[in-house]
């Protein structure tokens, strides 16, 4: 099949707010520094639903969504040296591995040593095209856009070589696909992004995690790994208390059930003055404010992970920052896809990182719209789609 166009099934988002439709799509061969991957499994992340809803300022249609996949390299374009036919990559968020956060190791961002964001292909990725400005997907004579440099809702996809992470072929793709976004994002936020030195939350910290979905529970897992003392899960869904405990949380608060007290007051009371670290894993800008204000005066740090809709803005009294609280955020947990993802896969293979526990639902590609409905129901942590 190398060098030829492949026709396969993909879930196409023709327009915002509509169900995906399963179509035959043509996937062109990879050009220079591109990789064509056969996707075997993909997770469905809330960010896919967010972009489908039309609330993403960068969202454009028609598009092939999906950014949490795993597959096998089918063929590579000219100049690709990092992976070869037959390799098992995990798509990262395009920041690269088909991961949505690429890592070129040459740009100002990659060389800074201060961020996992890579600037090399971000502009074209944001416009839904490959680095040369064109698409590799066609359906019914029309070009389809790529998503986050990954587009894992297609049986075959083409991504930039810097967005692919080759991992051990022993890793079960029906689970490790989740390392392409949700799990890595939350875990990385706790063990890499938090803390002034980038070492994550310190041993003995008091932490609050707002929103116990795949991302929030992964933050809990990272906080446990780093030896946090109190890990408080805050969620409006009571069933998340048990989920939090399963991953090592010590406490649970439902903010709608604390009477007249605000959630920030409640957390300050529970932690003798405020949390050392708080994480927003909801995407709700009001929750982000509460998370910042629940931080300890002088040093508490709040990390924004949730994605908010176009037009939404955060606010707080500047005095909150004047008095030492820190507001920061991260994409893909601050994890450098190509450099750090293989280690996370090893941790999973060695029983040091939970992944299987997040999978509550499975669907075949034909039922991908059901996977979106599953995700929105309160009992789903992650649904994995079999391509």
Q: List the catalytic residues.
A: 45-47, 67-68, 104, 107, 110, 118, 122, 181, 382
Q: Does 173 bind Zn ion (CB under 5 A)?
A: no
Q: Which one of Zn ion, ligand NAD, ligand AHE, none interacts with residue 58, CB within 5 to 8 A by kind? A: ligand AHE
Question: Which of 240, 180, 179, 247 lies closest to 212 in space, CA to CA?
Answer: 240
Q: Does 252 bind ligand NAD (CB under 6 A)?
A: no
> Residues near 182 by Cβ (< 8 Å), separated by ≥ 6?
43, 45, 68, 213, 214, 215, 218, 358, 382
What is the rounded distance in angstroms from the CA atom of residue 111 to the CA atom of residue 114? 8
Q: Does 240 bind ligand NAD (CB under 6 A)?
A: yes
- Cβ density class 204-243: b for 16+ within 10 Å, e for less: ebbbbbbbbbbbbbbbbbbbbbbebebbbbbbbeeebbeb
Q: Does 181 bind ligand AHE (CB under 6 A)?
A: yes
Q: Does 80 bind ligand NAD (CB under 6 A)?
A: no
331-350: which residues touch ligand AHE (CB under 6 A)?
A: 331-332
| Adjacent-strand bridge partners of 99 | 96
Both tokens of residue 69? 């996949």
* Torsion angle of the four alpha carbons 14, 18, 22, 28, in this order, in degrees rounded to the nearest 10: 20
Among 217, 275, 307, 380, interactor with ligand AHE by CB under 6 A: 307
Ramachandran quadrant class, 198 (left: phi over 0; alpha: psi -120 to 50; beta: rest): left
Three-state DSSP state, 230: strand
Whether residue 376 is preceded by a cis peptide bond, meaning omega within 30 degrees of 0, is no
Stretch that binds Zn ion, among 30-38, 139-147, 173-181, 329-337 (CB under 5 A): 173-181
Q: Does 306 bind ligand NAD (CB under 6 A)?
A: yes
Among 237, 339, 370, 386, interactor with ligand NAD by CB under 6 A: 237
Among 235, 276, 301, 374, interactor with ligand NAD by CB under 6 A: 235
Enclosing H/E stretch for 334: none
Q: Does 324 bind ligand AHE (CB under 6 A)?
A: no
> What mask of x and - would describe binding to ligand NAD in positions 274 to 293, judged by CB under 6 A?
-------xxxx--x------
Per CB under 6 A, residues contacting ligand NAD are 45-47, 50, 181-182, 185, 210-216, 234-237, 240, 255, 281-284, 287, 305-307, 331-332
Per CB under 5 A, residues contacting Zn ion are 45, 47, 181
């Amino acid at each position: 099949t190398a060098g030829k166009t492949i026709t396969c099934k993909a879930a196409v988002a023709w327009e915002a707010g509509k169900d995906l439709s399963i179509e035959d799509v043509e996937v062109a061969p990879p050009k220079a520094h591109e990789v064509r991957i056969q996707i075997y499994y993909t997770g469905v992340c809330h960010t896919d639903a967010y972009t489908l809803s039309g609330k993403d300022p960068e969202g454009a249609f028609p598009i092939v969504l999906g950014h949490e996949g795993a597959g096998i390299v089918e063929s590579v374009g000219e100049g690709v040296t990092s992976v070869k036919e037959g390799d098992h990559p995990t798509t990262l968020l395009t920041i690269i591995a088909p991961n949505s956060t690429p890592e070129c190791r040459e740009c100002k961002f990659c060389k800074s040593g201060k961020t996992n964001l890579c600037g090399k292909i971000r502009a074209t990725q944001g416009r839904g095209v490959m680095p040369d400005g064109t698409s590799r997907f066609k359906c019914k004579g029309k070009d389809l856009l790529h998503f986050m440099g990954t587009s894992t809702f297609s049986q075959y996809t083409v991504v930039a070589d810097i967005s692919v992470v080759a991992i051990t072929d022993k890793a079960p793709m029906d689970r490790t696909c989740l390392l392409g976004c949700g799990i890595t994002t939350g875990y990385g936020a706790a063990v890499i992004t938090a803390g002034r030195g980038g070492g994550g939350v310190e041993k003995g910290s008091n932490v609050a995690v707002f929103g116990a979905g795949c991302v929030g529970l992964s933050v809990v897992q990272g906080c446990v790994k780093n030896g946090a003392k109190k890990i408080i899960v805050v969620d409006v869904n009571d069933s998340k208390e048990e989920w939090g405990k399963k991953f090592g949380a010590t406490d649970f608060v439902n903010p709608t059930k604390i009477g007249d007290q605000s959630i920030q007051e409640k957390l300050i009371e529970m932690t003798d003055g405020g949390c050392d670290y708080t994480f927003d894993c909801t995407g709700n800008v009001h929750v982000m404010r509460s998370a910042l204000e629940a931080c300890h005066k002088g040093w508490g740090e709040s990390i924004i992970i949730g994605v908010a809709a176009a037009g939404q803005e955060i606010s707080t009294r500047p005095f909150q920052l004047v008095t030492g609280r820190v507001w920061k955020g991260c994409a893909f947990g601050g994890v450098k896809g190509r450099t750090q993802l293989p280690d996370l896969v090893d941790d999973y293979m060695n029983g040091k990182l939970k992944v299987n526990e997040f999978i509550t639902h499975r669907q075949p590609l034909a039922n991908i719209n059901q996977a979106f409905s599953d995700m929105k129901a309160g009992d789903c942590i992650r649904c994995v789609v079999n391509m």
